Each structure stands twice: as C-alpha cells, then as structure tokens.
Amino acid sequence: MGWEAWFTLATIAVCFSVMATNRAAPDTTLIGALTLLLLSGVLTPATAFEGLANEGVITVAVLYVVVTGLRDTGTIAWLGQAVLGRPKSLTSAQARLMAPVAAMSAFLNNTPVVAMFIPAVNDWARKNNLSVSKLMMPLSYAAIAGGTCTLIGTSTNLVVNGLLLSETESSGLRMFELAWIGLPIAAITLVYVLIFHKWLLPERRPVISQFADVREYTVEMLVERNSPLEGRTVEEAGLRQLPGLYLVEIDRKGQLLPAVSPHERLRGEDRLIFAGIVDSVVDLQKIRGLKPATDQVFKLDSPREDRCLIEAVVSHSCPLAGKSIREGGFRSMYNAAVIAVARDGEQIKKKIGDIVLLPGDTLLLEAHPNFIAQQRNSRDFYLVSQLEESSPPRHEKAVLAISILSLMVLSVAFGWLSMLLSALLAAGLMIITRCTRGRNARRSVDWQVLLVIAASFGIGNALESSGAAKAVADTLFSLSGGAPTAALAIVFIVTSMFTALATNNTAAVLMFPIALATAKHLGVNFLPFAITIMVAASASFATPIGYQTNLMVYGPGGYHFSDYVRMGTPLTVLTGISTVVLVPIIWPF
C-alpha cells in the first residue's frame, strides 16, 4: 500500500477512537477527518463532498418534511395509538414496535419507515413512561432486518442486483427470493433484542425528567360532539397514559364527577378538568376530539394552525394582576387566549375565565408567534417563551396526509418514480396542501444526521481511491485457502468492516468485483457471494455510521458510539454465522 492508503486508515482509526470515547460529535469528527484527507491530497473537494449531492442524502432530508406533515396533522399520534397500542412491559413494547416496523421495511425503503416512527415512538415512550433509549435502537434494527427480506427492502439490494445484471450473466433476483435468508435474520434480530436488551441497551432519560416539575397547570378541555372520544372510557381515550397529568374531575352539564374512574365513559360536551405538567398539557391539545373549554381560543384573529403555545409569567406591574381573566379582557388586550394556569404547584379549582391572576402565575397561552416579539420586553410579563412543536394539529387534513404518504409509497413500489422524486413530490404536496407550514418544514431537517451521512460517502471514496480497500480485502482473501465457505465468511467480515467504516452501498460496490473475481478463481457459483454481500452490507448493527437509520435514531435515543458497539457487535456475529451457514444451503456453490 502507498502512503495515501496508510494515511486514510490511520485517519479512520483516529476518527473511530474519538467517536467511541464521545470526545466530539459524529458530524464534527467526520468533517474533521474529511478536512485532513483533503489537506493531504488523498481526496479532492469533489470526491470529499460527493455525498452532499447523493440521492440518498437528499432523500433523507426531504423525508423529514414528509414526516413533519404527518406530525402536524396528528397522523403520527394516531399511528402510535393504532399500531403500537398500550404495552404491559418494556419487552412487550419492543415486540409491538419491532414486528410491524420489520414488516413495513420489507416493502418500503427503511429510511421513510424509521423517519415516520421516530416522533411516534418519542410520544409513545413518554405516554407509557418508557425509556426512549430502550426503543430507538430496536426501531432501527427492526427496519434493517426487515429490509433484507425483499429485493426492494433496501437500496443495497437493488444496487447489488443491478450489478448482477450488468456484470454477470445472471437474470437477477426475484422479488421475494431474499426472504429465505431475510426472514431468519429478522427473527434472530427480534429474539436477540427481546432477550439481551436488559444488559446491553442503555437506560437513559432526559435529565429534566428526573426532577419534579413545579409548574403544575390547571386546564379545562371539552369533549367535542360526534368525536372519536364520545362513548369511549377515560382509559380507552388515552387520558390516563399521559405522565404527570391527573384528571381531577368531569363537569357534565353542571354535575361534578370527582375521583373519575378509568372506566367512566365520555360524553359530548363533557368538561374535563386536568392538573399536570406542561408537556402533557401540550399533548392534550393534540388529541383529536378534545378542544380547549374556553371559547376565547376561537375568537383570536389569526387562524388556529398559525398559532403556537407560549408560557408567560405575570409580573407585578401587569394591569390584569388582581383581576379575573374574563373580567380583565385578557384576549382583547393581548390577542392571546389563556389555556392553563400554574401557581406554585397549587391546583386552581376554577374555570379558566374565573381565575384571578396573581403576580408570579405562569400562563399557558395560545397565540400567534408574534406575541413573543411584542411582549418579550414588556413590563407585563417577567418571562415569555414559546413551546417547541406546540402548534395545534390540523386533524381535518390527516386523511390527506395519509393519502400523500400512500401515493409516495405506491409510486416507489410500482416503479413509477424513484425514491427521491417520490419524496420530493410528497414533501411538496404536504406544503402546498398546508398539511405543514414552510417554517415547520425548514426546522424539521436534522442537519447533523445529513452531514454524517454525506461525510461517510467521502470517507468511502478515500478508501477506494487510496487503494486501502482493495489492499485490505486482498490480504484477507488470501487467508481463505481456496475453501468456498471460508471465502464466503471472509466476504461477510470484510463487507461488514467496510459498512462500519463507510456506508452500506459503498461497501457493496467495493466488495462486488473482489467477490466476483474470487468466485471465478474458485470456480464456484457467484450467487451465494452476491447474497452474502447484500446481507453483510445491510445488516450493519455495530456502529451508528454504518447505516443511515442508525444515524437517524442516534440523537433521539441519546446514544453514545459505544452503545452500538456493545449492542450491535454480537448481533452482527449472529447474523454472519447464520448467513454463512444458510446461504450455501439455499443457493449452492
């Protein structure tokens, strides 16, 4: 190997050690590695940043917008309730999550499936008091395993199948031919996670969740007539799963029902009085069939979908201090409606309009975002801050959002459009039909994930152009001793290593010609080697940068680099053993 190859391998080794010890963020580390490779001349600017123009990277970015449309219409919350349900334990929750995700990933690209489930799992974990770090990695692993079951399950399968058609005389693989190896791998992945998560998956919760929230709001919600909640029990409506929230009583046409039973059935026009923390109060606003009991919300100037929730602390100089919300004309004065009031952890047992404001009260307001700019420096409030992702969902557009998603899926499944064009079309329709707003779409993109994926392509180019990839592969293949099974095992190992260092598609493209030459030299059927490359490149569990879905859950799960190594390495070994044993039986040499 030349000095370029040695320098590339050394740079990657340092890069991995930095990420493994959590000394720097993955995007900072990988961009730093690309900078060194650029300065050394191993890469040119075009090859270093080729990933920024890659279809896969752009597709991931656009899919964030599609998911935002689903979230802003309340579809994500519905998905969480309809598909995930109410688990009885953490193991049950993981099974409920992984089985449908694996099934969906067999027929859809992994990326949109994971992108769609991340916000749903976040909400689901909070409502059921589960650690999100116990769910995000299983989500990614299920999507990866499910993608190995069909030809269209992952882009890697399509890439290798395309190389089979162009570089060999093979007629390619059939749609479900990979299921012979994919289904056992999916089953192994599911069983492995359910058994070993107790010891290998981290238990991490946000620091703020470890402390009591002193802001206990009192809020009134009204059950809408002919809504999905009418006739359901309190428990069936999901009103007992919100953490830190307590249903104090129900006001039913003037009759108070205290100590509400979970089996109490809701009726139209029921007024529900809750007390609890702000996150769960925000969740209440997003439940279809509930609306704020105060009619002041519907008298505001701006359309409801343009508003957000804002917290404001009443100051001593506020002109409404000492007056009730209704008497002081809060809505008319500030063009904002009071949704809930918090007062030193005290439950305020009054209707919102009858609450007399005191200095120090924290108000939860529904208002246009302009309220913040107008009142930030006002003497009326000590503090004004907007709550993230608090815009009221547009439930009436939920069917439209699902239709757009279905159109995207069908256009890819039937080959009408590529994944990128389908995602672009779906994202555009989400904005045009106002399922989401342009500002929400811009904020939804996770640039850290995109930079890491794009940088991975540059590192893959360095491995290839420097000759490091071929040199390492040739050295390892010389160890096979002419035995086809040993060569197959080495193909899996080397492909897995390349996938961990670069990306799945890069690993598959690098390994294909090397494996093809090896099969010809051994005089055996090449198809088992092609199948092994597909599985090894896709089944990347041991590092976050090996597969884009691992990167997508890295931040939401609060993971460290070492978490993937600890949880994913044994699973990769199990997958490798299964592949090397089963593939020659299903596709003989």
Domain boundary among 338, 357, 386: 386
> Are residues 99 and 232 both part of a single domain?
no
Residue 158 has pLDDT above 80, yes or no: no
CB 310 within 8 Å of CB 381: no
* pLDDT attached to residue 209: 46
Q: Average pLDDT, whole number, for the chain?
A: 83
Domains identified in the chain, total number? 2
Q: What is the pLDDT at residue 208? A: 40
How far apart CA 90 and CA 483 sit, in angstroms, is 45
| The one-letter amino acid at 151 | L
- In the block, residue with structure tokens 């399950």: 153
State the average pLDDT over residues 419-427. 86
* Residue 408 forms part of a structural domain: no
pLDDT for position 109:
67
| Residue 283 lies inside a defined structural domain of this protein | no
Q: Are residues 134 and 232 in the same domain?
A: no
At 503, the pLDDT band (50, 70, 90 cuts) reads: low
Taking CA atoms, 418 is separated from 184, 538, 576, in Å, by 29, 20, 31
Q: Which range scores top for mean pLDDT: 242-246, 381-385, 390-394?
A: 381-385
Q: Report the percent of the chain where pLDDT is more than 70.
A: 93
Per-residue tokens: 397: 């557009």
Does 470 have pLDDT greater than 50? yes
Together in a domain, 190 and 253? no
Of 353, 368, 386, the residue that ends a domain is: 386
Give the per-residue pLDDT at 186.
94
- Same domain membership, residue 470 and residue 527: yes
- The CATH number covering residue 271 comes to 3.30.70.1450
Q: How far is it, in rounded angstroms, from Cα 548 to Cα 140?
A: 9
Using DSSP, state whether 382 is helix, strand or coil. Answer: strand
Q: With 70 as the cut, is the pLDDT of residue 322 above it?
A: yes
Domain annotation covers residue 570: yes
Instruction: Give the three-class secondary structure for 387.
Output: coil
Q: Under DSSP, is residue 478 helix (H, G, I), strand (E, B) or coil?
A: helix
Burial label, 574 (beta-carbon count in 10 A; 0-12, 13-18, 19+): middle
**Is residue 413 domain-resident?**
no
pLDDT per position as a tens digit, 177-217: 899 999 999 999 999 999 999 889 988 764 444 444 556 78
Whether residues 267 and 246 fall in one domain: yes
If you search the block for the tokens 């420097």, which residue do you land on? 466
Residues 197 and 91 in one domain: yes
471/478 Cα distance (integer angstroms): 11
Q: What is the pLDDT of residues 529-575, one digit of tens each?
A: 999 999 998 888 988 877 778 888 888 888 888 899 999 999 999 99
Domain boundary among 367, 386, 405: 386
- Whether residues 40 and 112 share a domain: the answer is yes
Considering the domain boundaries, does residue 431 fall inside one?
A: no
Averaged over 330-336, what is the pLDDT? 88
Compute the average pLDDT of residues 106-121. Answer: 78
Write down the residue that tokens 């590339």 correspond to.
Answer: 8
20: left (phi over 0), alpha (psi -120 to 50) or beta: alpha
Shared-domain flag, residues 538 and 461? yes
In-domain check, residue 49: yes
Within-domain flag for 491 = yes
Poorest-pLDDT segment among 52-61, 143-152, 292-301, 454-463? 292-301
CA–CA dist 329, 357 (Å, integer): 12
Identify whether residues 200 and 224 lie together within a single domain. Answer: no
Mean local confidence (pLDDT), 37-47:
88
Q: Provide the residue range defining the domain that includes 246.
A: 217-276+289-386
Mean predicted confidence (pLDDT) in 124-133: 84
Residue 330 in any domain: the answer is yes
Top-ranked range on mean pLDDT: pick from 239-243, 405-409, 569-573? 569-573
How much is the pLDDT for 428? 93
- List C-alpha distances in Å: 2 to 7, 42, 468, 475: 9, 11, 8, 15
Same domain, yes or no: 200 and 222? no
What's the pLDDT at 253? 83
Give dist(CA 453, CA 322) in Å, integer: 56
**Per-residue pLDDT averaged across 291-317, rounded?**
77
Q: Based on the domain organization, do 354 and 490 belong to the same domain? A: no
Res. 119: pLDDT tops 80: no
Note whether 366 and 497 are same-domain residues.
no
